[in-house]
Structure 1
Amino acid sequence: MRNLLRADLKRIFRVGLIYIGLLLALIYISYAVLEGVVNDGSIGLINGVQKALSGAPIALFIVFPTYYAVFAHELSSKSMQTVLGHGITRNKLIIAKLLDAAILLLCLYLIIIAAALIVINTESAIVLSPQQQASLIIYIILRWLRHFGYIVFSAMIMYISGSTVLGIIACIAFAAIFKLVFNIVEFFSSLSLYDYTFDGLLDWAYTKVEVGAAPWELLPAICYLLAALLITTYFFRRKEFDF
C-alpha cells in the first residue's frame, strides 16, 4: 500500500487546482487577519483566523480542491480496477485514498499554520501568549479534522452511488450548506440538532479546550468518521466492476 500512496501523492501534488485554492485561502485569511488586527490587535488576529477558517469560502478553497485532486477521476479513469487487479484489497484501496486526502489536507494546513506563526513572530504589534498560540493551533487542527470529515462523508457517498458528481455535490454541501440548513431548522423549531452533528461536536470540543476541560466530544465525532468508513467499505466490497 505504501507504493500506492507514493504514486497517488505524486499525481495529486501535480494538480494545479490545489495551489490555486491554497493561494485563495491565504489571501482570504490574510484579509480577515489584517481586518482583525486593525480593529483589536492580538485578539483580532485570533478572531480573524477563526472567522476565516470557519467560513464557507475557506472550506471551498481547501476542501473542494483536495477532494477533486484525490477522487475526481477515481471512477472514470478505471484506475480502481487497475489497482484492484494488482492485488490491493478494496478495504486497503479506500483507506489509501482517505490517507491521500488526509496527508494533502495536512500539508495545506501546515502551510496555513506556518504563515500564521510567521505573522505572529514578525509583527511587533502582535503579542500572543503561549496559551493563545496553542489555542490557535488547536483550533486549526480541529478545522483540519472537520474538513477531513467532509471528505470522508463525501467519499462514502461517491463510493456507494458510483457517481463522482454526487460526491462533489456532497463535498460542496458539507462544506458550505449543511450548517446553514441546521441553523435554519433550529431557528424555526425547538430542535437542537446541530449540537449532535459532526460539526457541532467539534465546536463543543474546542469550547471545552478553551475552558480547560476535556474535549470528550471528540470521541463521538471520531466515531462518525469510523462509521462512515465502515459503511463505505461494506457497500464497496459488494460493488461489481468491469475489468
Structure 2
Amino acid sequence: MAGRRRAEIGLGERLALNRVGTFEWDLPEGTFELDAAGLAVYDIEPDEYDGRPESLLSRVAPEEGARLGAAVMSEIHAGRSSFGAYFRVRRRDGREQWTHMRGRVLRDEHGTPRSVVGIVRDADADRVQLAMTTPVQLAGWQRMTTVLQGTADALSRAMTVADVTAVLTGEGGLELFGADGLVLGLVKGDALQLVAVAGESTSELEELKLHRIDESLPLAEAVFTQRPRFV
C-alpha cells in the first residue's frame, strides 16, 4: 500500500506539498506563466491571474518588483545561465512572506535569451534559519553560493573534455574553488586516467597518470558509488 501511494504522487504534487511552484517567463512575449502551486506561493487564485508579470504586483510591492526585475535582467544581460533572488510577497491576510525564485535562462542558437524557466517557493523557513546563523557561517555560505554559481555558468558553456579542463584547471580555476590544488580524471574501464593536475600541492599525483582503480585509492569509492568522497 505504501509503495502504491508513493507511486501516485507525481512531481507536481511533490513540489506543491513543499510549497514550490514552477514558472515559464517568455521574454519576447512578456508573459509569465505559473502553475497552480506557483500561484499558491503568491496567494493568487487561477482566475485572478492573466499571465502578465504586472498582475503579480497585487502581491509584490512595486518597488520590490522593480528591484527584482532589475536584478534578474542584469543577470541575463551579463550572460548568466541561471540566477536566484529573494523577495517579499504580501499575502491576503497582510502577512509578508519571504519568497525565493530560481531560474534558468534558455537562449536561441544566436545566444539571445528567449525564456526563463524555474521555480518559485515559500522561503519563510530560510528566514528563520538565517536568523539563527552566525555572521561567519553566513559569509561561508554566501561564498560557496558564489563559487557554485560561477562554476555552473562556466561549465554550461563547456562542450568538450578540453573545455571542462580549461574551466577547472585554467587561469583562475583554483581561485574559483578557493583550492590549493585540483585534479581532473577520467575513468576508462578499470583504469583511472588523470587528464589535468593543477597546483603545487598535487605535483606528487603525476605518477598516477594511469592507475588501476582499486580500493587503495580514496577516490575509488567515488567511482564505484557515484558519490563524492572527501578526505
Q: Flag whether TM exceeds 0.5 (same fold).
A: no
- TM bin, normalised by shorter chain, reads under 0.3
Structure number with the bigger relative contact order (C-alpha 8 A, sep ≥ 6) is 1
Q: Determine which structure has the larger helix proportion and give its number.
A: 1
TM-score by length of 2: 0.22
TM-score by length of 1: 0.22
Q: Determine which structure has the larger strand proportion and give its number.
A: 2
Computing the radius of gyration from Cα coordinates, the structure with the larger value is 2
